[in-house]
Amino acid sequence: MLLGPEFADLGLAVFRVIVGAVFVSHALPKLKDPEGTREFFASVGLPDSMYLVYLALGIEIIAGTLLAIGLFTQMAALTLVAFMGVASYVAIEKMGKEFEGGYEVDLLLLGATFMYYLNGPGKYALDAIVRHG
């Protein structure tokens, strides 16, 4: 049995939670080894800076959480679009990754966050409660 468009907001909510959780989970290795992350960033031509490590951590944790719960969704999504734009550029240009087994997940996250920036979170989100209180 196929579901109709009345389930679109449920799909947006489930996908939003998954995408947000992916960002938060990708922050955990950086949190466990910030110095290693700094060294990795420097090795791919990014500034050799702990500030950059903590900026990346903050973006992934805060914007990822906001996206997952659907609060300030479009602002969080736009932040993640920029973040994933840089990550995709680094993966393709600096690291020379191939699409398959390389940067396809980066592009998927870029596309997902861009979709939420354009469309908002759907009706099952804290934004909907705040907006319609």
* pLDDT tens per residue across span 82-110: 999 999 999 998 888 888 878 899 999 99
Q: What is the pLDDT of residues 29-76, one digit of tens each?
A: 999 999 999 999 999 999 999 999 999 999 999 999 999 999 999 999
Q: Is 30 inside a domain boundary?
A: yes
Q: Is 32 inside a domain boundary?
A: yes
pLDDT at 132 over 80: no
**For position 133, what pLDDT does the model report?**
62
Q: Is 7 inside a domain boundary?
A: no
Cα 57 from Cα 54, distance rounded (Å): 5
Q: Is 131 inside a domain boundary?
A: no
Q: Is 1 inside a domain boundary?
A: no
pTM, rounded to two decimals: 0.92
Kindly state the average pLDDT of the residues 129-133: 79
**For position 100, what pLDDT does the model report?**
82
Q: Is the Cβ–Cβ distance between 44 and 95 less than 8 Å?
A: yes
Total domain count, the chain:
1
Q: Is 5 inside a domain boundary?
A: no
Query: Which is nearest to 83 in space by CA: 117, 36, 133?
Result: 117
Cα 124 from Cα 40, distance rounded (Å): 38
Residue 54: which domain range? 13-125
Sign (positive/negative) of CA torsion 84, 111, 10, 122? positive
Per the rule left: phi > 0, alpha: psi between -120 and 50, beta: everything else, 13 is: alpha
Q: Is 133 inside a domain boundary?
A: no
Q: Is the Cβ–Cβ distance between 38 and 49 less than 8 Å?
A: yes
Q: Which two tokens stand for residue 73?
A: 């969704």
* Those residues with Cβ within 8 angstroms of residue 114's Cβ, 6 or more apart along the chain or in another chain: 77, 81
Decide which of 2 and 103 is more confident. 103
pLDDT at 131 over 90: no
Q: Is 24 inside a domain boundary?
A: yes
Strand, helix or coil for residue 109: helix
